[in-house]
Structure 1
Amino acid sequence: MDDLFADHDASLGRSEVLAEGARVLRGRAHARAAEFLELIDGVSAQAPFRNMTTPGGYPMSVDMSCCGRLGWVSDERGYRYSVTDPQTGRAWPAMPELLRGFAIACAAEAGFPDFSPDACLINRYRPGAKLSLHQDRDEPDLSAPIVSVSLGLPATFLFGGLRRSDPQQRVGLVHGDVVVWGGPARLRFHAVLPVREGEHPLTGRYRINLTFRKASRT
């Protein structure tokens, strides 16, 4: 097994510093993962997973859904948040309070006590799916952190610097791990390497990632 994922059981409950303003909270979602996944099934029944396209016309390899006041969309018009799901024409499903409360608690543990997320992006990775190096900068209030929850298959998370060319840390993320970054780390570049083939008891051949954001100005 890759050293990045070795001894993950022994790391449950630890908090690891990636940089000033960025932490990995090991295993925080583990105990409630089955509940979270049931809620995600409810969201995706209303806002089905889909492959969005980049402004350049390239399909993204991850399947995506959203819940909350706003949802993130990408198409030929660019990256942005929208109050309606362009696929259904309806408002995005409400963010389940259990998920919202969990994200708020993780943000507070990582040093961001005033987090109030109003958008949750739900990415579903099949084996081979990845997320290219990027910054999360579509939100108008960059003082709020990002809270990212990993469920299902493991993944290698790349966490870089404020420039695309900066060196990147390779961080192994397993089922239940949470990453929080904000403050001086808020605009650090990050990515997810292609997910490896595998099978998880709760998610099958998928990795599910939830990212909680404050997407509105108020």
Structure 2
Amino acid sequence: MSLLRLRGFEIHKGYLDLASQRALIEVLRPILRTAPLFSPTAPGGRKLSVRMTSAGKFGWIADETGYRYVENHPKGMGWPAIPDRLLELWHGVTGLQRQPESCLLNYFGPDAKMGLHQDKDEADFSFPVVSVSLGDDGLFRMGDTRRGGKTDSIWLNSGDVVVMGGAARLAYHGVDRIRFQSSRLLPKGGRINLTLRVVT
């Protein structure tokens, strides 16, 4: 494991070993059964290329009316609880006693990507966002707090954990592409990105 700092982002390379990654996939399966993946629609009607779901008190959704946190899955059920393994990971990399209230699960298929964006739907930006990569490699791009500035990129591998806090909390970031089937963690390939957030 190694720690890199780029543009204020803390990148913990190899934070989760293979056994821990597999264990985390197992605790995600009940979440996916209870709150299935769905394809969000951005304002303006464009379908996002990632599929998503959530765990915790709140889930994040996008539709034609905007982006927001809600207490129920689009099909009406409440979100499942955040697994203890993820809560332990949050405390391990942040040292915070405050627990995250939402865990977003994004699934990237072969052609999925996520454009540069800020995470700014939370009430208190003093808490970091913690991002966990599982499965195929993803090319992670980081900017600053202004749209259109210079960016840097790094490949995130399965088991890497990124902490976005401080100066990086409102920095633009995104995923340009994945190297499909670069990992054997997910039998059918693809990348899972988990992001833990304090919402209120």
Same fold per superposition (TM over 0.5):
yes
Q: Which residue of 2 aligns with 1:101?
A: 88
Verify the 8 A CA contact 1:145 1:180 in the aligned structure 2: yes
Q: Which residue identity lines up with residue 212 of structure 1 in the other structure? A: L
Q: Which residue of 2 aligns with 1:214?
A: 198
Q: Which residue of 2 aligns with 1:186?
A: 169
Percentage identity across paired residues of the two chains: 38
Q: Which residue of 2 aligns with 1:90?
A: 77
Equivalent of 2:16, from 7, 26, 29? 29
Task: Give 1:197 deviation, angstroms.
Answer: 2.7
Distance 1:124 1:40 in 2: 12
- TM-score after normalising by structure 1: 0.87
Q: CA RMSD in A?
A: 1.2
Once the two structures are superposed, the pairs formed by residues 27-106 of structure 1 within 5 Å of their partners are 27-30=14-17, 31-87=19-75, 89-106=76-93
Q: Which residue identity lines up with residue 67 of structure 1 in the other structure? A: A
Verify the 8 A CA contact 1:158 1:192 in the aligned structure 2: yes
Verify the 8 A CA contact 1:51 1:59 in the aligned structure 2: yes
Distance 1:164 1:54 in 2: 19
Q: Which residue of 2 aligns with 1:7?
A: none
Q: Which residue of 1 aligns with 2:145?
A: 162
Q: Deviations for 1:129-155, whole angstroms, at most 9, x for unmatched residues?
A: 000110000111111101000010001
Distance 2:165 2:180 in 1: 31
Q: Which residue identity lines up with residue 66 of structure 2 in the other structure? A: G
The SS at the match of 2:174 is strand
Distance 2:101 2:16 in 1: 19
Q: Which residue of 2 aligns with 1:5?
A: none
Q: Which residue identity lines up with residue 140 of structure 1 in the other structure? A: A
More strand as a share of residues: 2
Q: Which residue of 1 aligns with 2:112?
A: 129
Verify the 8 A CA contact 1:104 1:117 in the aligned structure 2: no
Q: Which residue identity lines up with residue 211 of structure 1 in the other structure? A: T
Give 4+ residue runs of structure 1 displaced > 6 Å after superposition.
none
Q: Does 1:203 align with 2:190?
A: no
Verify the 8 A CA contact 1:115 1:145 in the aligned structure 2: no
Distance 1:19 1:132 in 2: 18
Structure 2 unaligned residues grouped into runs of 5+:
none
Q: Which residue of 1 aligns with 2:135?
A: 152
Verify the 8 A CA contact 1:84 1:90 in the aligned structure 2: yes
Distance 2:87 2:48 in 1: 26
Equivalent of 2:2, from 14, 18, 38? 14
Verify the 8 A CA contact 2:100 2:196 in the aligned structure 1: yes
Q: Which residue identity lines up with residue 111 of structure 2 in the other structure? A: G
Distance 1:48 1:117 in 2: 21
